[in-house]
Chain A
């Protein structure tokens, strides 16, 4: 099993542009969560999706959106990029429910210039 895979691994965008990040969960996992990790900080929760429905949203502006597809893969979209959006974006998948381990991908390093 390849584990949680994210693409691309690195990305450079200009302020005001839009970006789409992709995540493929571990086979059989139905829950996907997205986290933003700014340099020197711990990961911060953005979204959780389970069975293609949004189940949780962190304190992020509406410029951030996400969706989950029938095959449980997920996309994170960020519009009108700001310099402050530069960060490592992590995707985590888990089987279902509480007390299940979250498995993280390697992340997508987004740089906004």
Chain B
């Protein structure tokens, strides 16, 4: 079975500092990878996907097949970025395999 690993359960940075949330996946050809975010008292929602190669809310994520990683980055953290972040990949038709999540806290 394919696996997604997020090594940090908790990450705390100061406002304005760079942020990097790590995600590694088990090797398997060409993966379809996503970052989902859950803000306090809101539902889980898609932040970005690797195939679109876009920047959402200042976040970017680059697929590194050599390191089997899909780290999420933002150069300057904002307080509203505090949330739970999940890295996920598609397995089969539409099954999502999630990592355990990283709780990001932005300190003022």
Contact = CB atoms under 8 A, between A and B. Distances in A.
B57 interface: no
A48 B93 contact: yes
A97 B9 CA distance: 32
Contacts of A48: 93-95
Q: What class of interface size applies to chain A in its complex with B? A: 20 to 34
B68 interface: no
Contacts of A41: 100-101
A58 interface: yes
A43 B44 contact: yes
Interface residues of B, number: 23
Nearest to B99: A42
B70 interface: no
B90 A98 contact: yes
B32 A42 contact: no
B98 A56 contact: no
Interface in A28-45: 31, 33, 35, 40-45
B94 A33 contact: yes
Contacts of A103: 45
Contact of B101 (A3, A42, A107): A42
Given A58-B95, A98-B94, A105 B43 contact: yes
Contacts of B97: 45
Interface string A39-63: 0111111001010000110100000
Which 5 A-B residue pairings sit nearest by Cβ, starting from the closest? A42-B98, A104-B44, A45-B95, A42-B100, A43-B98
Given A45-B95, A56-B93, A101-B46, 12 more contacts: A41-B100, A41-B101, A42-B6, A42-B98, A43-B98, A92-B96, A98-B93, A99-B51, A101-B49, A102-B94, A102-B96, A103-B45
12 contacts: A33-B94, A33-B96, A42-B6, A43-B98, A45-B97, A48-B95, A50-B93, A55-B94, A58-B95, A92-B96, A100-B94, A107-B43
Interface of B: 4, 6, 9, 32, 43-46, 49, 51, 86, 88, 90, 92-101
